[in-house]
Amino acid sequence: MKKEPPNRFVLIGYLEEALPGDQMAKVEEQIRTSPEWRQALEEMQGDVDHGEHSVAQIWRRHRLTCLSRESLGAYLSDALPPDEADYIKFHLDTVKCRWCLANIDDLKESAPDHDDRKPAARRRRFFQTSVGHLPKNED
């Protein structure tokens, strides 16, 4: 593995577990094998622990660009305007936000039927869940 000089933003991402998994593994390898990376990480931890308050730090810490589960669910259901869907696609595919990707995975796993996004399947599910609540026609 090529030894690269420590990168402050990569180390911040590592400390906040905000990097994609493969990049996290590369940074861990660098930290294990490079005294220079270990020293940079220790200094970075000191900065973070002493309350560094840069705009970028606050932005990442509070995940200001992340989406609510409701928005992510609407995205999975194709129920968003195109511009909002494009932003979510960018956030997931380009930014690769670990928190939002984890939420998407969780939403997909918890969906009772992945075909529910199709109108016919959705109507069938609504009908099946409301059958016992419909008044009986007694002629």
> Is 134 domain-assigned?
no
* For residue 114, pLDDT beyond 70: no
- Is 139 a member of any domain? no
Q: Is the pLDDT of residue 48 over 70?
A: no
37 vs 46, which has greater pLDDT? 37
89 and 108 inside one domain: yes
Instruction: Please give the model's pTM, rounded to 2 decimal places.
Output: 0.48
Percent of the chain with pLDDT over 90: 19
- pLDDT higher at 12 or 76: 76
Q: Are residues 78 and 35 in the same domain?
A: no
* 93 and 77 fall within a common domain: yes
Query: If you average pLDDT over every residue of the chain, what do you get?
Result: 78
Identify whether residues 57 and 15 lie together within a single domain.
yes
| 76 assigned to some structural domain | yes
Report pLDDT for 104: 92
Domain boundaries, position 110? 69-127
Mean pLDDT for 66-88 is 92
Residue 61 near residue 16 (C-beta atoms within 8 A):
yes
**104 and 84 share a domain?**
yes
Of 22, 38, 61, the residue that ends a domain is 61
20 has pLDDT over 70: yes
What does the pLDDT average to over 87-92? 92
| 54 in the same domain as 13 | yes
Q: How many domains does the chain have?
A: 2
